[in-house]
Structure 1
Amino acid sequence: MTTKECGNHGGGGGGGGTACRICGAIIGFIIIVLMTIFLVWIILQPKNPEFILQDTTVYAFNLSQPNLLTSKFQITIASRNRNSNIGIYYDHLHAYASYRNQQITLASDLPPTYQRHKENSVWSPLLYGNQVPIAPFNAVALGDEQNSGVFTLTICVDGQVRWKVGTLTIGNYHLHVRCQAFITRLIKPPEFMSAKTPLSTR
């Protein structure tokens, strides 16, 4: 007659079941929280903030050989929270100018800001670059545009945003803003140019 041994008799086998129940409860709780956040998100229908380039004043814009650009800009850019029930935290913002997808100034840090419902925020950073090398084909295009009397720059704002719904703060999303500035060349002084219109958002 053969005797078969059976292990884990008595109370020793209950630990595994308890651990499974705890894990199941934790997973269920996480799922409920995520579903709640998702439903709140759908109901509130959050909108991206709107950005407007209000003014661009150019104090220096000189292209020298070999393809070195020195520039200095004062910009005023505004953002509006279009949401009625959601606040926006702007974190780690910085602005810079680019020409044909090539950055031509150093990045200037913007102060972190919390924006309440339907609230506006305004920043006026100084952007500058000293003898920044630019691509030869961009130098040719820039020269042609300057001769025509109008050239186009892109004012860029990058950073991180978080959404606030009641007491809940959600996520950490990348902010990627591009506003076109159409610069008109003035006859005097030759190093001073300004642009106020037209403007673009996002």
Structure 2
Amino acid sequence: MSMEDDRQVPPTLRPNPNVRQNQNYQPPPTPVKPMPMGPRYMPDEPNRRGLCACITIVLLLVGLLILVLWLVYRPTKPHFGVISAAVYGLNATAPPLMTTSMQFTIVITNPNRRVAIYFDTLDAYVSYRSHPITTPVALPALYMEEHSSVSVSPMIGGSPVPVSPDVSNGLAMDEAYGVLGVSVIMQGRLRWKAGAIRTGHYGIFVKCDVMMSFKKGVSGQVPLTGAPACYVDV
């Protein structure tokens, strides 16, 4: 190397002739600056809050829609009324068994102008002083359109039913007096229908107190002593 070449090399990069060069020498690695520690996953809080707000708004709108539909289509209980009665058998002289056969004409009215009614099941029996004196009879399934009425005339009884002496003695006294008071009980399940919406099943209980003129030995149609009032619970 000439003197001119030595002048072009910086002094710090010139080899020191007094130091023996190590062929396996490697410069130390450059230190890496550590990264700051933090959570591996940071949820997107604004998106989560927006999703919760959307769900809340949708639920409120659905609840408001259901409330409006209920107020518009709010169903009213059906009405029941007994308009005629007939007695074909009343054997109260052989306790503890008693055989009764009666027929009642019952008018069922749907007072709703926007809601129809399905009577899926409806059973009827006759009781005297809160004691059954006939076996239940199943009425046919009914579908009542909006603001409509239908009459049914089930024949109830015909099979022997065990009764207490108080019941048989009370019936004998009413026969002698000429006025017989019984209750027509109906129980079943119904559904409401508003447009394309159908509700679940609801239990229904109906009690019609009937007072009729009746004397021993009479068979057939008997006059009612008043307009029977029916209690309806749904």
User: Do these two structures clear the TM 0.5 threshold for a shared fold by scoring above it?
Assistant: yes
1:154 matched to which residue of 2? 183
1:194 paired with 2:219, answer no
The answer to whether the Cα contact below 8 Å between 1:61 and 1:191 also exists between their aligned partners in 2 is no
SS in 1 for 2:77: coil
Corresponding residue number in structure 2 for 1:123: 152
Change (3 A) 1:130 1:33: same
Change (3 A) 1:197 1:167: farther
- What pairs with 1:141-180 in structure 2 (closer than 5 Å)? 141-180=170-209
User: Could you say which residue in structure 1 is the equivalent of 2:161?
Assistant: 132
Q: Report the Cα distance in structure 1 between the residues aligned to 2:183 and 2:79, rounded to whole angstroms.
A: 16
Indicate the SS of the match to 2:161.
strand
**Structure 2 counterparts to residues 75-90 of structure 1, below 5 A:** 75-90=104-119
**Structure 1 residue 10: Cα displacement:** 5.2
Change (3 A) 1:6 1:125: farther
CA root-mean-square deviation:
2.8
**1:1-202 equivalence runs, <5 A:** 9=40, 25=55, 32-186=61-215, 189-192=217-220, 194-198=222-226, 199-202=228-231
CA contact (8 A) 1:185 1:193 kept: no
Partner Cα distance (2:88, 2:187) in 1: 23
SS, match of residue 130 in structure 1: coil
Deviations 1:38-80 (A, max 9, x none): 3322234421111111211110011123332111112211111
The alpha-carbon distance between structure 1 residues 6 and 149, as it changes in their structure 2 partners (threshold 3 A), is farther
Q: Tell me, in whole angstroms, the C-alpha distance in 2 between the residues paired with 1:186 and 1:193.
A: 12
C-alpha distance in 2 between matches for 1:62 and 1:152 = 16
Match of 2:29 in 1: none
* SS of the residue 1:142 aligns to: helix
Following the alignment from structure 1 to structure 2, what is the Cα–Cα distance between the partners of residues 49 and 180? 17
For residues 81 and 225 of structure 2, what CA distance do their matches in structure 1 show?
A: 11
Is this contact kept in 2: 1:186–1:193, CA < 8 A?
no
Which TM-score applies when normalising by structure 1? 0.79
How far apart are residue 139 of structure 1 and its match?
2.2
TM-score by length of 2: 0.69
Matched residues in 2 for 1:62 and 1:156: separation?
20
Name the CA shift for 1:34/1:95 in 2 (closer, same or farther; >3 Å): farther
Q: Check conservation: 1:186, 1:192, Cα contact below 8 A.
A: no
Contact 2:90 2:99 in 1 (8 A): yes
Contact 1:58 1:192 in 2 (8 A): yes
Which ranges in structure 1 are unaligned for 5 or more consecutive residues?
none
Cα deviation, residue 36, structure 1? 2.7
Structure 1 residues 112 and 79, CA gap change in structure 2 (3 angstroms): same
Percent of matched pairs sharing the same residue = 26
Instruction: Describe the SS at the equivalent of 1:161.
Output: strand
Quick one: structure 1 residues 34 and 160, their matched pair in 2 at CA, closer, same or farther if it must change by over 3 Å?
farther
Residues 1:92 and 1:71: Cα distance change in structure 2 (over 3 Å)? same
* Structure 1 CA distance for aligned equivalents of residues 225 and 215 of structure 2: 15
